[in-house]
Structure 1
Amino acid sequence: MSAADTTTPAKVPPPRQAPPPPASVRPLGPRGRRTPSGAAVPWLLLAPCLLTLVLVMGYPLVRLVTLSFQTFGQSQLWGFQPAEWAGFDNFAEVLGDGQFWAVVLRTIVFAGGAVVFTMVGGMAIALLLQRVSGWLRILINIVLVAGWGMPVIVATTVFKWLFDSDYGVLNALLSRLPGVEMTGHNWFASGPQGLAVIMLLVVWGAVPFVVITLSAGLTQVPRELEEAARLDGAGSWGVFRHVTLPILKPIIVMLTTLSVIWDMGVFPQVFVMRNGHPEAEFQVLNTYSYDRAFVVNDYAQGSAIALLTVLLLLGVVAVYMRQMLKIGDVE
């Protein structure tokens, strides 16, 4: 072996890596094209949905706004007379009508009561479902989904039969109680009593969604926090108030807002329950707008009432967005 073979081989330095590209340079795609930035990806994914909403709701909304500023009745509908621009006359007439404000107050009270009973009842059922066995929870969820999936017209027809004055099941059951005589009782003889029945129908149809959503939220509540609260001496109400409720607050705000929007827009329950002709004491905003447009044949005023309803609901959505932004800032 020669002296050259015993020398230590020189170490070869590793190849230098190229520095990473600056953040302002977008990566190239497989064909040399620049890929969209991260901020544009959500808008690209939402584009089909937004386009569908614009196509489906854009023209009806524009037509609604246009009609509310015109004089448009049956003569204009059939083309006998051209539609004339009325400015804010329709809104002034609607806002100056005392019956409109009575309907607004009735709608707010109706929707508020329905939302309160829906949220309280849904929360109570969701909490109870956490304490039952697995198979019973599955059975109750199946019943809730079946009730939630029932068409509104079918559910309204069933409630009409339950509360019928002559053949109603509820009157027959109540009459069996000692000292109670409900045979032939008409639940729709007065507006408040009839609206209470309709409110029960609305709550019955909305509770399943609330229960299922809150049940899913309750599974995300850490058990460690609940156990720590109990070790600190908190009772069931204390654990719910200081641990469960804050964690469920975003879900509760969302459900409450959706319930307000849905209950403010109640139409088929009232319309079908009153056989297509709701009396004055049963009128809510949607049925009142329908009557002005298709019973009185004043489509302009009906559109003005519908537009005012939309603006009222936009106020509810604004409150919802404000609450969600507050929750996001706290987190």
Structure 2
Amino acid sequence: MSAADTTTPAKVPPPRQAPPPAVPKAPRRRRTSGGAAVPWALLAPCLLILALVMGYPLVRLVTLSFQKFGQSQLWGFQPAESVGFDNFGKVLGDSEFWTVVVRTIVFAVGSVVFTMVIGMLIALLLQRVSGWVKTLINIALVASWGMPIIVATTVFKWLFDSDYGVFNALLSKLPGVDMIGHNWFASGPQGLAVIMLLVVWGAVPFVVITLSAGLTQVPSELEEAARLDGAGAWGVFRYVTLPILKPIVVMLTTLSVIWDMGVFPQVFVMRGGHPEAEFQLLTTYSYDRAFVVNDYAQGSAIALLTVLLLLGVVAVYMRQMLQIGEVE
């Protein structure tokens, strides 16, 4: 073997690998000393207005409910005296107050049930009519929704008038029915039924518009699959449509309870500013005790108890709103 054959071959260096691309550094955000205060500064005008419009009356309401405050104290002849929980004791010990509470709850529940049922039926109907019919119905709903409460109450008062009421005249055209001269407000239940109809009439448009928007989010594929599986119209609504609309239904129901528990102008105007005992709800009962009997302290106590009763409903509403936000 020759010397040339015994030489060690030179090693070839491996090819150089390109260095990995440099990761660009995220730009550092400059921390401003007033960054956390900017949202509060923007909210300050709104919070100030809310504090003045809602905060002061609520504080004044709580203060009056723990005092003896009548005409003498109103005109400054005598100073207001602190009586502790005496006003609440008198109110809670009065059987008339509990009668009004039960009447208010029954009135609110009836109004909410009729509002939600009628609103759901109209919303479902709007999904099955032609475009121009849907437009006409929406215009009518918005027009009725935008009508002032005083105007709507006056119209209903005329419709159910005992002498010139259109409703009595229409019912009298039915065979064997004579409603001419019938006074719907001669008894509390019938009069409250008319007022409930007025409340439902004013609340249905908002429910229909909201539910109609929710129905547009129901996938048609799910409804078609349910029909192929043999489900009828009720089955599709119960197992497909209603579960998807449940958050909206719960929200609308809670809001309706809050609104219907606070009904005042419908009863007040319908009864000419002097609701009888059979027509008293919590709002009118509080007003009557304060401005008719001139016992502002007891009126404030009743109003504060009404606020506490509604806080439970508000808590349910806020809980549902937070759950809807978490799902989204």
TM-score (norm 1): 0.88
Match in the other structure for 2:179: 182
1:267 counterpart (264, 273, 279):
264
Whole-Å Cα distance in 1 between the matches of residues 221 and 17 of structure 2? 57
Deviation of the 1:323 alpha carbon: 4.0
Deviation of the 1:47 alpha carbon: 5.0
Deviation of the 1:235 alpha carbon: 1.2
1:137 counterpart (122, 134, 138):
134
| Secondary structure at 1:307 match in 2 | helix
Match in the other structure for 2:10: none
Match in the other structure for 2:58: 61
Given residue 19 of structure 1, which amino acid in structure 2 is its aligned partner?
Answer: K
2:168 counterpart (147, 171, 174):
171
Whole-Å Cα distance in 2 between the matches of residues 17 and 251 of structure 1? 47
2:144 counterpart (142, 147, 152):
147
Deviations 1:185-206 (A, max 9, x none): 0001100000000000000000
Q: Is the 8 A contact 2:255 2:317 kept in 1?
A: no
Calculate the aligned-residue CA RMSD, in Å. Answer: 2.4
Whole-Å Cα distance in 1 between the matches of residues 225 and 321 of structure 2? 28
Match in the other structure for 2:32: 33
Whole-Å Cα distance in 2 between the matches of residues 51 and 132 of structure 1? 48
Structure 1 residue 234 corresponds to structure 2 residue 231:
yes
Q: Is the 8 A contact 1:72 1:84 kept in 2?
A: yes
Deviation of the 1:257 alpha carbon: 0.8
For structure 1, the residue ranges without an aligned partner over 5 or more in a row are 1-9
Match in the other structure for 1:19: 25
Q: Is the 8 A contact 2:162 2:184 kept in 1?
A: yes
Structure 1 residue 211 corresponds to structure 2 residue 208:
yes
1:87 counterpart (80, 84, 87):
84
Q: Is the 8 A contact 2:116 2:204 kept in 1?
A: yes
Q: Is the 8 A contact 1:27 1:34 kept in 2?
A: no
Deviations 1:241-288 (A, max 9, x none): 111111111111111111101100000000000001000000000000
Match in the other structure for 1:311: 308
Deviation of the 1:56 alpha carbon: 1.4
Match in the other structure for 1:290: 287
Deviation of the 1:87 alpha carbon: 0.5
Whole-Å Cα distance in 2 between the matches of residues 115 and 165 of structure 1? 27
CA 235–257 in structure 1, closer or farther in 2 if over 3 Å, else same: same
Q: Is the 8 A contact 1:106 1:284 kept in 2?
A: yes
Deviation of the 1:320 alpha carbon: 2.6
Deviation of the 1:104 alpha carbon: 0.2
Whole-Å Cα distance in 1 between the matches of residues 209 and 135 of structure 2? 11
Q: Which deviates further from its counterpart, 210-219 or 312-321?
A: 312-321
Whole-Å Cα distance in 2 between the matches of residues 44 and 261 of structure 1? 31
For structure 2, the residue ranges without an aligned partner over 5 or more in a row are 1-15
Given residue 278 of structure 1, which amino acid in structure 2 is its aligned partner?
Answer: P
Whole-Å Cα distance in 2 between the matches of residues 105 and 41 of structure 1? 48
Match in the other structure for 1:281: 278
Q: Is the 8 A contact 2:251 2:320 kept in 1?
A: no
Given residue 25 of structure 2, which amino acid in structure 1 is its aligned partner?
Answer: P
Q: Which deviates further from its counterpart, 315-324 or 207-216?
A: 315-324
Match in the other structure for 2:198: 201
Query: Identity rate of aligned residues, in percent?
Result: 84
2:254 counterpart (250, 253, 257):
257
| Secondary structure at 2:316 match in 1 | helix
Given residue 67 of structure 1, which amino acid in structure 2 is its aligned partner?
Answer: L
Given residue 29 of structure 2, which amino acid in structure 1 is its aligned partner?
Answer: P
**Over alpha carbons, which structure has the higher Rg?**
2
Match in the other structure for 2:8: none
Q: Is the 8 A contact 2:67 2:297 kept in 1?
A: yes
TM-score (norm 2): 0.89
Structure 1 residue 78 corresponds to structure 2 residue 75:
yes
CA 129–189 in structure 1, closer or farther in 2 if over 3 Å, else same: same
Whole-Å Cα distance in 2 between the matches of residues 126 and 49 of structure 1? 35
Deviation of the 1:131 alpha carbon: 0.3
CA 69–185 in structure 1, closer or farther in 2 if over 3 Å, else same: same
CA 35–250 in structure 1, closer or farther in 2 if over 3 Å, else same: farther
Deviation of the 1:19 alpha carbon: 3.4
